[in-house]
Amino acid sequence: GKPFPADVECPDYVMRACEACGLEFPDPVVPGDGAFYGWITTMPNYYKSHRWEWDETARLAQAVQATTLLDVGCGTGVFLDFIRSKSATLKTVGLDTLSESVESCRGKGHQAVCSTLEAFVEAGDAPGFDMVTAFHCLEHVTDPVGLLRSMASAARPGGRVVVSVPLSPPSWEVMGRDCLNMPPHHLTRWTAASLRQLGRACNMKLQVTSDNGAMLDSIPKSVLWLFRETTGIAASASWSHAAVGMVKRPDVLVKCAAFLLKRERSDDGRPVGNTALAVFTRD
C-alpha cells in the first residue's frame, strides 16, 4: 500500500524458473540498493521480534551440545538476544555489513563484527563454529550457493549450517503474488526441492523442516484457515459465518483447496507451511 520511491533504481525483471528443482529467480539478478532497503526497513513489523525457527535452532544447539555460534546477517541482534536467553554458556558472534546494526549489537553486550562473511573467513577470524546461522538472508543475495559455501567454511567439520527461508508460494499468495516475495526484495523463491538441490550443490547433508503454516490437522480445517486468511474473515468468526463466505466466494475456495493438495512435503512427511528451516551438516 506504499508508493515505490522515485529515487530507487529498479530494473524490469523477467522471472525464470529452474526446470530441475523449481527455484524461481529474476533476470537480471539485481538486488535492491541501499536506498530501497533504507525505505523498506522503516515499514512497521519489518523486523520480526520472534520466529519459530529460533526455537528449533535453540533445541538443535542443545541437542548437538554446541558451544559456539555465528549469526550471519545479525541485524540489531534480536536472535542473539533470544539465543542468549536460552543458553548462558553458548558463545555467539554476530556478523553484519551495516555498521549501525553492529553497534546496536555491541550495545546489548554481544560480540559483533562489521564485515562480509567472505572477508571474515578469509581473515581467519572464523575459528570453526559449531553452528552458523542465517535467518531470511538467502533469498536476498545474488549468489545463494556462494553464501552457503562460505557459511560452511566458517563451521567446523560436523558443524551445522542453519538457514531459514520463505517457501514459495506462501499461503497468502493464493490469489496473487506478494510484491515483498519478489525482486528487488526477494531475488529467489525457494521450494523444498530447490533447498535439497542446494545441499547437493554444496555436498552437504540436509534436513528440511517447516512451520505448520496453513497445514492444520485436516484438509477441511486447513482450507478453512486459508480461506479466512485470504478473505479476511476473523479467526473468531463462527463456522456458519465462514461457510456463508465460502458459498459467496467459490473461486477462493477452489484455489485454497488446490493450493493445499499440491503442497510439497517436508522431511517429516507433512505438507510444508510458509517457511522452511534447512539444517545442513558439514562433512
Q: Share the mean pLDDT of the chain.
A: 91
Which one is predicted more confidently, 61 or 8?
61
> Which pLDDT value is given to residue 39?
87
Residue 217: pLDDT band (50, 70, 90) is low
* DSSP three-state, residue 227: helix
Residue 213: pLDDT band (50, 70, 90) is low
Residue 68: pLDDT band (50, 70, 90) is very high
Residue in the structure block whose three cell numbers are 527461508: 165
> Which pLDDT value is given to residue 172?
86
pTM: 0.89
Q: Which of 120-129, 142-151, 183-192 has the lowest mean pLDDT?
A: 120-129
Starting from the edge strand earliest in sequence, which strands make up the sheet with 275-281, in order? 111-114, 91-96, 68-72, 129-135, 155-166, 275-281, 205-210
The gap from C-alpha 89 to its chain's centroid, in whole angstroms, comes to 27
- Which tens digits make up the pLDDT trace of 80-103? 999 999 998 999 999 998 888 899
Residue in the structure block whose three cell numbers are 549450517: 161
Q: Which of 113-127, 140-154, 214-228 has the lowest mean pLDDT?
A: 214-228
∠ CA 71-192-198, nearest 5°, is 60
- State how far the Cα of 95 lies from the Cα of 275, in Å rounded to an integer: 23
* DSSP three-state, residue 15: strand
